[in-house]
Structure 1
């Protein structure tokens, strides 16, 4: 296989897909961010548009300050059955597995139905010919469930433990294709050893025989630019062709390689040979031209793509207080705090340019690149100065500062991917933080190594989010501009 391009770039992991007529719908994990579970629509599996978030109300998803980064919402499964959309997912910080439904995938989605009888994570739903609903979870075990009441029948039953010696059998999806039921799983862990394996049986609860060619997809021990491939879901197109959506990462820099955008959604074709799926090369078709994202905050509600860690209260994050601005009222005093008031946009390209206009006259606010509470860079301003800060593990420091004149500031960061390695220790990219002057020129105050905002350094399951925050008092943001750059 050769490396392809993500069809949904940036931090969009654990994709699950279903088709209704000519329309495809896809959901991803959101972890500690709200609103939860971004939902996308496509007509061709390549070009996707976000149409909403499944868990977009506090009564659906409430995460407390002790919900750690990379906690929260794990691995949804999205299905369409009996005229209704069903989404089952795990909240690892409160309530375990839950089920929501909708007649329109753009919402509204129902309040969550708790599933106390469903253990573990990565739940899947599949319906038998007689209407029986089976829920399969990481492990790999299965229980019969009534999706309308949440009641289960009998204890979970182990189905298949995956390839002998392979760790972390997870992300199960069960399908009826022809005369067989196919059980697709991820195994090997979500790092470089990740892969997809499959087994089949005559009934939805087995017994299952493994495919002799397992893993049917893995980039482990290759020099492919896309790594960690796994956590896949299968879908058939109207023309009869089959496709696989999956997660992967694009490491950059030297050894060991650092991925900074998180786990992204990729696409691969599937054919069938001797009753087994054969996965082709990841599609080279990317999401299209480099299109900027700009928000003037003229609408009453934030766009679907804006996310915040753990909560977003209209008392502290609103576009209604000052028309044409996003107003943030500080709670936590920095990005170190779990209750920081932050609204962010997923970094989706290895190189990008971001600018934001902030009025910090009544407090302190800025522009940040966040991975988690212990790994972030930011540039912030108050009435006296603008400064660049870095938090790397236990260390926090002011990297640079300068006085400012009265009035709003245009703060910026240029993220430039490493093109030519300068040795095995070259980082994946450089982040230059600075101020845009009145004549439009950009003055960089500091350039920072991007490896420290990577999963390989910080750990966890998320990716970079670039956004706006308040560290003290009130900060008003007139606009936010994200521009992808060729690399």
Structure 2
């Protein structure tokens, strides 16, 4: 039975306070340097909104509106839980409702049998029909494509998402469309069209319908019907500098499709705009009939130098020309929002605001928040809520892993002892308090800015083998290290002060601009006992080289024994507990040199 989504509403009784009530205290409370405070501007003005709407790593957005509620889903690749479904009543404030892929039993072992760093859930589409929410997606494993169709009647409940139906897709980026006769169709990259049986997952003959305007990789198709026309929206030009959105239309669903003379209808290629790689979008209407769209973009400017958050989701308005073509509002950081939905309702969901902060004390069995994610499905028992904090069971594979090893437990393919959340602000502070005992050489724990096993920056404490005595109980060192396909990260080692040993330690990273991270450690019992370990460019985790821009950075905590042990277990002797976790967004850069403050 369908669950009425309005049970998740409550009526807001208070209006939002004027921005300056929180803007002024923010400058004095965050510790942000004055040189950057001068850049900050109030983040709300009448009839304006600010992109990105879904900040942090949120590529390939697809959205719908149902009964005045908006739902969006994005790609997640190897991240688990995957396919987050976000909800909003006004297009500006978004919360996590659920994840369509939220338990390994839906796809047993699939993650563990996937090797590529940028494999996994590609370009989902969300649609609604007759009380059922559908998310269709291609799961990529090397050269193979597995189509998956997830269904639920309650998008606020993880458990309600069913085991997906398998579909034999030949390409990525599946769309889902119902024609007036009730037949369901899938369009995929290329672009081809197939009839779909929603119960069995069987597909009809693939019919090529349009290959775009000549740009590379015509993909991300979405079909709509309006005023007797079938409209086919696609992305083309590649996923980086030449990314764009184009559209064609036909009188029958199989075509022939005629290209819009004004194509591309949305792009920032060839410009000096701060938002680049604009493309791969989806269109939808609000309850008043106004048209809107979401697409992906990268906050980098044309230099593509510092972009750790990767591809984010941006909002734009759409109108229709007299000739019957959509006209899309150019993507900028500061957007006119005169026709935004006005709703007195605030959506209640299980998850936090997409741009929210974390202040979590993991004592007394506090569970893992729903917006925390991993790189691949973690082994059972890796993260356990206890009265002492969130226990992390160290794994033999470190964050890089030996990806060519014949020992699969060393590759990281069976999951890492890493837990994180998306970096969702340009300027932020992230701190984790760890209570730990590292009793065996090679044991290591700390925090990481993690994009993939090929691209991460780590601040940790490690027990190194004592080379002089060959003792099995080596020195404790703070270690700043990492791996990047574009930036050399020099390892930095600092001895742990004797007074800090066997005491909880705070590991911290701060970003007060878009280009650098500053890493430090401190003793909890003495706030002044703080050691700055070093500064590393955010370009090191910006997708330059390697697997490119598909992924985005997470901030989180990890533990490993760096290969010691056997099978899937480390040697005995380590204990790592997360006791406190704080993520504070300070500001969002929305144009070159323009940063707006964020509020909690």
TM score, norm. by length of structure 1: 0.91
Residue 112 (str. 1) matches residue 164 (str. 2) = yes
Residue 30 (str. 1) matches residue 76 (str. 2) = yes
Within a 5 Å distance, the mapping from 1:6-45 to structure 2 comes to: 6-45=52-91
Post-superposition Cα deviations, 1:261-318, rounded to whole Å, max 9, x if no partner, equal 0100000000000100000133736999985322223565422211101112341112
Please, which of 389, 403, 419 is the counterpart of residue 325 of structure 1? 389
Cα distance in 2 for residues equivalent to 1:142 and 1:217: 24
Post-superposition Cα deviations, 1:108-143, rounded to whole Å, max 9, x if no partner, equal 211011112x32000000001111001000000010
**Higher mean C-alpha deviation, range 166-175 or range 397-406:** 397-406
Aligned 8 A contact 2:94 2:353 in 1: no
Aligned 8 A contact 1:7 1:266 in 2: yes
Cα distance in 2 for residues equivalent to 1:176 and 1:66: 37
Structure 1 partner of 2:196: 145
* 1:282–1:77 distance in 2 versus 1, CA, 3 Å: same
Aligned 8 A contact 1:3 1:282 in 2: no
Cα distance in 2 for residues equivalent to 1:341 and 1:250: 30
Cα distance in 2 for residues equivalent to 1:241 and 1:324: 51
The alignment partner of 1:462 has SS state of: coil
Cα distance in 1 for residues equivalent to 2:100 and 2:375: 16
Cα distance in 1 for residues equivalent to 2:265 and 2:80: 34
Residue 402 (str. 1) matches residue 482 (str. 2) = no
**Higher mean C-alpha deviation, range 280-289 or range 43-52:** 280-289
The alignment partner of 2:540 has SS state of: helix
Cα deviation, residue 332, structure 1: 3.2
Cα deviation, residue 194, structure 1: 0.4
Cα deviation, residue 66, structure 1: 4.5
**Higher mean C-alpha deviation, range 435-444 or range 338-347:** 435-444
Structure 1 partner of 2:41: none
Structure 2 partner of 1:426: none
Residue 347 (str. 1) matches residue 423 (str. 2) = yes
Please, which of 471, 475, 479 is the counterpart of residue 387 of structure 1? 479
Residue 48 (str. 1) matches residue 48 (str. 2) = no
Structure 2 partner of 1:173: 222
Q: Which runs of 5+ in 2 are unaligned?
A: 1-47, 338-351, 402-411, 464-475, 562-573, 588-594, 596-600
Cα deviation, residue 443, structure 1: 2.7
Within a 5 Å distance, the mapping from 1:94-105 to structure 2 comes to: 96-105=146-155
Within a 5 Å distance, the mapping from 1:56-205 to structure 2 comes to: 56-61=102-107, 62-64=110-112, 66-93=114-141, 96-107=146-157, 108-116=160-168, 118-153=169-204, 155-164=205-214, 166-205=215-254
Within a 5 Å distance, the mapping from 1:458-469 to structure 2 comes to: 458-460=546-548, 461-469=550-558
Cα deviation, residue 450, structure 1: 1.7
Cα deviation, residue 76, structure 1: 0.4
Structure 2 partner of 1:423: none
Post-superposition Cα deviations, 1:454-484, rounded to whole Å, max 9, x if no partner, equal 1124433011111010113431110111111
* 1:378–1:66 distance in 2 versus 1, CA, 3 Å: same
Greater helix percent: which structure?
A: 2
Q: Which runs of 5+ in 1 are unaligned?
A: 419-428
Aligned 8 A contact 1:85 1:105 in 2: yes
Cα deviation, residue 65, structure 1: 6.0
Cα distance in 1 for residues equivalent to 2:202 and 2:247: 28
The alignment partner of 1:64 has SS state of: helix
The alignment partner of 1:456 has SS state of: coil
Greater strand percent: which structure?
A: 1
Structure 1 partner of 2:6: none
Q: Which has the larger radius of gyration?
A: 2
**Higher mean C-alpha deviation, range 23-32 or range 304-313:** 304-313
Cα distance in 2 for residues equivalent to 1:136 and 1:66: 25
Within a 5 Å distance, the mapping from 1:283-362 to structure 2 comes to: 284=334, 291-297=356-362, 301-319=367-385, 322-323=386-387, 325-337=389-401, 338=412, 339-362=415-438
* 1:291–1:306 distance in 2 versus 1, CA, 3 Å: closer
Cα deviation, residue 186, structure 1: 0.3
Structure 1 partner of 2:516: 430
**Corresponding pairs, count:** 470
Cα deviation, residue 95, structure 1: 6.0
Within a 5 Å distance, the mapping from 1:269-280 to structure 2 comes to: 269-273=317-321, 274-280=323-329
Cα distance in 2 for residues equivalent to 1:204 and 1:156: 13
Post-superposition Cα deviations, 1:200-250, rounded to whole Å, max 9, x if no partner, equal 111222111111100000000011110101110001011111001000010
Cα distance in 2 for residues equivalent to 1:65 and 1:150: 23
